[in-house]
Structure 1
Amino acid sequence: MTTIKIASVPEHFNLPWHIAIENKAFEKQNIDLQWTDVPEGTGKMCQMLRSGETDIAIILTEGIIKDINAGNPSKLVQIYVETPLIWGIHVATNSNYKKLEDLKNTKAAISRLGSGSQLMAYVNANNQGWKTDELQFEVVNTIDGAVEALTNGTADYFMWERFMTKPLVDKGVFRKIADCPTPWPCFVIAVRVEILEQKPEIIQSILTIINQTTKTFKKIPNIDAVLASNYHQKLEDIQEWLSLTDWSQENVDEKLLNNVQKQLFQLKIIDKMGTFEEIVKSI
């Protein structure tokens, strides 16, 4: 049995992995796939890949490309979710901020430096014509930290996946004032180079299994009810999310990579563009 460590956020996108693990699909291929939930998100997973704490990460496209450019010894092996991530832009319910333009020159809560919540704050600022070098951030680690920061006023707004944050909107903790979709596929699968070199057949087997699972995921009977129950969502919200979400079984191509890097470079999030060979591995 080969042990492989995998990490990602505890969100609805990743239910296919849990189904495959529960069905012992990896075990049948002599793979002990050990899952770790990472509520802190992309910045933390980049750190885990660097330290060897995880072998694989299901991770935000922009965040891992930035970190590979900065020396993370990992490569992208596949797009996982090909549709954009819809980031909700949230404020505290009792906040005086009513419109997106009200947030100019205010402070964004982010999970950590280099996280998707920080990178998308740059994307949003650029979309609004704000000066991105004047953005202010408050590191809050998790969504619970964001609740605390927005409630006590140490930060003014928080960008997080719209549907996962909606229960807080429904409870009256947050108020959503706008959406900001990623201008690229949202999640990719990244693997440490050491593992790619030592165990390429194992990684290929893992991809084959998860791709078989995601191809039929939406057709599983009552999958909307399962998702709603597991992730504490309203059924109608999950149904809307499913209608907007498509999983991928394809690798990142050069055109997509260059498109993401070009935008990150223009936003000064990266200071150089890596080559396709440095960032992507076909297996």
Structure 2
Amino acid sequence: MKHVRIVGVPEHFNLPWHLAIEEGAFEERGIVLEWTDIPEGTGRMAQLLADHETDLAIILTEGIVKSISEGNPSMIVQEYVGSPLLWGIHVASQRHFKSVSELKNTKAAISRFGSGSHLMAFVNAQKEGWDTSRLQFEVIDNLEGAVAALAHGTADYFMWEHFTTKPLVDSGVFRRLGDCPTPWPCFVIAANKHFLARNENVLRHVLQCINLYTKEFKSIPSINRTLANRYEQKLEDIDTWLSLTEWSQKQLTEETFKSVQQTLLNLHLVATEKNFTDMVWG
């Protein structure tokens, strides 16, 4: 049996992986897939890839493009979720903010530098016409850290996936002022080059397996109820999320890659332009 380490966020997007593992789909192909949840998100997963502490990661597209551009010895091996990610823009419910425009020149909570919450703060600022050089950040590690930071006033707003934070909005911990969707497919599968150089055939089996699961995922009977129960979400929220989410079984296109890279260049989040073939496998 070949052991393969993989990391991802503990969110509903990744249920296809858990179902495939639980049903022995990888083991049928001679692979023991060892999944680890990483609640800190993209910045932490990029570091795990760079340090060879994981073989694969289900990671935000913009985050891994930035990380590889800065020297992370990894490659994008496939799209995973082909639809945009809807980033909610949240404040503590007791704060005075009533609109996104009021957040100009305030402090954003981010899980870590290089994370999705960090990068999307720039994307949102550009969308709002703010001076991105004046953005301020408070590192909070994870969602629990964001709750504390916003409540105590050490940060003013926090961007995180809309439906993951919906229970906190419903319970009155957060108030959502708006949403900022990614202008590209949101999640990709990335592999560190050390693993990739030695295990191309193993990787192909992993991709074939997960692609079968994601292709059929929405047709699984009562999958909305399974998701709602497993991730403690309201059924109507899961139904809305499923209607917006499309899993992908194809490679990231050069056009999409260039769009992500150009956005990062324009925001001065990466310093140099990289070749598509140096960052995207196959």
Q: Is 2:207 aligned against 1:207?
A: yes
Cα distance in 1 between the residues matched to 2:91 and 2:12: 23
Larger displacement relative to structure 2 (158-167 or 266-275): 266-275
Task: Give 2:191's aligned residue.
Answer: 191
* 1:206-254 residue CA offsets vs partner (Å, 9 max, x unmatched): 0000000000000000000000001110000000000000000000111
Q: Shift of residue 114 of structure 1? A: 0.5
* 1:87-126 residue CA offsets vs partner (Å, 9 max, x unmatched): 0000000110000100000000000010000000000000
SS at match of 1:264: helix
Cα distance in 1 between the residues matched to 2:271 and 2:51: 23
Residue 72 of structure 2 aligns with an amino acid whose one-letter code is N
SS at match of 1:159: strand
Cα distance in 1 between the residues matched to 2:60 and 2:108: 19
SS at match of 2:250: coil
Matches within 5 A, 1:1-283: 1-282=1-282
Residue 208 of structure 1 aligns with an amino acid whose one-letter code is Q
* 1:170-212 residue CA offsets vs partner (Å, 9 max, x unmatched): 1110000000000100000000111111010000000000000
* 1:3-61 residue CA offsets vs partner (Å, 9 max, x unmatched): 10000000000000000001100001110100000000000001100111110000000
SS at match of 1:83: coil
Cα distance in 2 between the residues matched to 1:257 and 1:101: 30
Cα distance in 2 between the residues matched to 1:148 and 1:194: 38
Residue 181 of structure 2 aligns with an amino acid whose one-letter code is P
SS at match of 2:164: helix
Cα distance in 1 between the residues matched to 2:263 and 2:50: 24
Cα distance in 2 between the residues matched to 1:272 and 1:254: 17
Residue 188 of structure 1 aligns with an amino acid whose one-letter code is V
Cα distance in 2 between the residues matched to 1:47 and 1:260: 20
Residue 220 of structure 1 aligns with an amino acid whose one-letter code is I
SS at match of 2:58: strand
Q: Shift of residue 159 of structure 1? A: 0.1
Residue 90 of structure 2 aligns with an amino acid whose one-letter code is H
Cα distance in 1 between the residues matched to 2:160 and 2:182: 12
Unaligned runs of 5+ in 2: none
Residue 109 of structure 1 aligns with an amino acid whose one-letter code is A
Cα distance in 2 between the residues matched to 1:70 and 1:216: 36
Residue 48 of structure 1 aligns with an amino acid whose one-letter code is L
User: Could you tell me the TM-score, scaled by structure 1's length?
Assistant: 0.99
Structure 1 stretches of at least 4 aligned residues deviating more than 6 Å after TM superposition = none
User: Could you tell me the TM-score, scaled by structure 2's length?
Assistant: 0.99
* 1:142-188 residue CA offsets vs partner (Å, 9 max, x unmatched): 00000000000000000000000000001110000000000100000
Cα distance in 2 between the residues matched to 1:179 and 1:255: 25
SS at match of 2:77: strand
* 1:118-145 residue CA offsets vs partner (Å, 9 max, x unmatched): 0000000000000001100000000000
SS at match of 2:163: helix
Identity within the alignment, %: 57
Q: Shift of residue 272 of structure 1? A: 1.0
Residue 190 of structure 2 aligns with an amino acid whose one-letter code is A
How many residues are paired up?
A: 282
Residue 167 of structure 2 aligns with an amino acid whose one-letter code is P
